[in-house]
Structure 1
Amino acid sequence: MPLKPMNDQNVFYSTDEFPQAILASWAPILENRANCPRSARIIAHHRPESPPTIIQNDCPRWARIRSQAIDNEEFVLHYQPKVNLASGKVVGAEALIRWNDPRTGLVPPDKFIPILEETGLISEVGRWALRRAVEDYLRWRATGLEAVRIAVNVSPLQLRNPGFVAEIERKIGIGAHAADGLELEITESMIMEDVKHSVSILRTIRDMGVHVTIDDFGTGFSSLGYLSKLPLDTLKIDRSFVTDITAGPQGLALVTTIISLAHALKLKVVAEGVETEQQYSLLHLLSCDEMQGYLFSKPVPVEDFEKRFLGRM
């Protein structure tokens, strides 16, 4: 039975009929909804002349994020390796936030990241991710592992925060080699919101020795003039273009152009979302520098990443 929206884009009901006289029975659900972020979903089934039965309610999960997930350190980092296409060697990693809910296990990112962003909690969790990534990199070095640079995603709230640069400075201040191991991934659309502000911040961060990557390139409609002025080290091709590379000549031509443009600007190119041998082969022929994706490895817990991909010096 199809779901129907009820006075809210994320409150749905399923029913054969919905008499207006029974609207009062939904009052507790809608009252509960008022205390939740807009991205939380409530789905219920309504039977005529009886109270609605809730099938899905994201509000308690949001409450648990606020009350326990951060304080109890239930968030963890999983690492997805970045592979050099020429040598096949792991040369970097992307840090991805996961929530290890003790009640339900690992929660898919799309179930909690939007809530973190909407409520502003992404700033706090983002600061934690930066600190943990730097600590992991320094620990790898200290224990004799072949440490690789870790890329951490930056949210719009973090980039707009006036204290963001100082926050980065504090994080890399905990070790002499911390800046060597940190890379910030910032989406193209985020940079284009305020180019002058972004250029200023990114230039300061790069001067600290931290690498900067423009993420999801091709989705933000940036002009080539701005791209040449941005203080960047790496351009990351959005996974949608990687998928289209084998779909026809247009997809292949587009990726070829992106790689040639990036190399002309002295930028390294990373392709994300590589899932097939055919995609890998074409990217290798096009002289793409690095790749990440399920073809090589899904994101894995830090312990697994160390065992599988980091050799001893």
Structure 2
Amino acid sequence: MEYSKNFKIQPIVDIKSNRVCGGEMLYRPNGRNLSPEILEELDNDPFLNLEVTKNSFLLAMSILTRIQSDVWISINISPKYMGDGKGFMRALSKESEDLDRLRRQVGKRLKIELTEKCVMEPQQLEFLQYLNTIHEIAIDDFGSGIAPLKNMVELPFSKVKVDMDIIKGIDYSEAKQRFLKWLVAGCHSIDVSVCAEGIETASQLMLCKRVGVDEGQGWLWSKAIEIRDFEVMASPMETAAISLGQVIETT
């Protein structure tokens, strides 16, 4: 896929086993990191927003058909320009010979991270509920002050991602530690997993592990890497070899 050059994947690690369990697809136009200008364009340009979402969806499914069955990939979706989702699904179908079969094949290994900051309309919620019949929903940026709390009441989400601002300095903040402990306990009580974003130090990791956080994502392990490198890493032997303290090489 030609547009694969516009994406990288940041590995996500299972904290108990210290092994790569999945990765987040990240938009990196022509390999560049996102600048405030690109982020603003992505948020305000409906065509670009939908094109990036469509390409990440197709690319993630393509990768998942090639790597081992217990590794997953998450993509970011903003329902802002989705409407009822019918136009979006038609666009996907035009570029996939058998979209329904492919979606069923990857199943819950394709995870949908919600990035929308505002409360969604009923038709947008219905579309996400439709996606959830095959894939899984994750609530992104929890604790940032912009997480869609109302949407969480109506969506059958399976994961909460803790915003990196909560993890930053958490080893020195009792308030943040209490918040994380409360969040993990609440999520686990309803069979929802917790992923901590922005882990950069061993002390942050140890604290997350102590309160029961399930997954970690951050520079302690790796920045976003090239797709081909993630695919190699996702092979059984490579995944088993990755352990705490071994920094994943970046490109």
Equivalent residues in 2 for 1:57-206, closer than 5 Å: 73=3, 75-100=5-30, 106-110=31-35, 111-120=37-46, 121-140=48-67, 145=68, 148-160=71-83, 162-163=85-86, 166=89, 170=93, 172-175=99-102, 176-187=104-115, 189-190=117-118, 192-194=119-121, 196-206=122-132
Q: Please report the RMSD computed on the Cα atoms of aligned residues, expressed in angstroms.
A: 2.8
- Answering whether residue 195 of structure 2 is matched by residue 270 of structure 1, we say yes
After alignment, is 278-287 or 152-161 more displaced?
A: 152-161
Displacement, 1:73?
A: 3.7
Q: Distance in 2 between matches of 1:74 and 1:151?
A: 15
Runs of 5+ consecutive residues of structure 2 not aligned to the other structure: 240-251
Higher RCO, Cα 8 Å, sep 6+? 2
Tell me which residue corresponds to 2:181. 256
Q: Are residues 293 and 118 of structure 1, via their aligned partners in 2, closer, same or farther at CA, if it must alter by over 3 Å?
A: same
TM-score w.r.t. the length of structure 1 is 0.65
SS in 1 for 2:26: strand
Q: In 2 relative to 1, CA 136–193 (structure 1 residues): closer, same or farther, beyond 3 Å? A: same
CA distance in 1, matches of 2:158, 2:87: 19
Check 1:222–1:310 CA distance in 2 against 1; reply closer, same or farther (3 A cut): same
Distance in 1 separating the partners of 2:33 and 2:83: 26
Residue of structure 2 equivalent to 1:27:
none
Alpha-carbon deviation of 1:232? 0.6
CA positional deviation for 1:122: 1.4
Q: Deviations over 1:244-282 (max 9, x none)?
A: 422311111111111112112221111111111111000
1: CA distance, partners of 2:130 / 2:91: 10
Instruction: Quote the residue 2:216 is aligned against.
Output: 291
Change (3 A) 1:79 1:114: same
Would the alpha carbon gap of residues 98 and 276 (structure 1) be closer, same or farther in structure 2, given more than 3 Å must change? same
Q: Which structure shows the higher strand fraction?
A: 1
How far apart are residue 146 of structure 1 and its match? 5.2
3-state secondary structure, aligned to 1:160: coil
Could you tell me the TM-score, scaled by structure 2's length? 0.80
Counterpart code for 1:217: F
1:92 is displaced (CA, Å) by 1.0
Alpha-carbon distance in structure 1 between the residues aligned to 2:41 and 2:125? 28
Q: In the alignment, which of 147, 156, 163 is matched to residue 238 of structure 1?
A: 163
Partner of 2:146: 220
Structure 1: runs of 5+ lacking an equivalent: 1-71, 101-105
Give a deviation string over 1:22-68, Cα, whole Å, max 9, x none: xxxxxxxxxxxxxxxxxxxxxxxxxxxxxxxxxxxxxxxxxxxxxxx
Letter in 2 for 1:94: E
Residues 150-173 of structure 1 deviation map (CA, whole Å, 9 limit, x = unaligned):
100012434435426735984652
CA distance in 2, matches of 1:204, 1:147: 23
> Equivalents in 1 of 2:139, 2:70: separation in Å?
23
- CA gap of 1:237–1:159, structure 2 versus 1, over 3 A, is farther
One-letter identity of the residue aligned with 1:93 = G
3-state SS of paired residue (2:29): strand
Q: CA deviation at 1:97?
A: 1.3
Identity of aligned residues (%): 24
Figure out how many residues of one structure are paired with residues of the other and give that number. 230
> Cα deviations across residues 123-161 of structure 1 (Å, max 9, x unaligned)?
112111111111111122xxxx45511100012434435
Distance in 2 separating the partners of 1:271 and 1:80:
13
- Pairwise CA distance, 1:241: 0.7
Query: How far apart, in 2, do the equivalents of 1:162 and 1:77 lie?
Result: 23
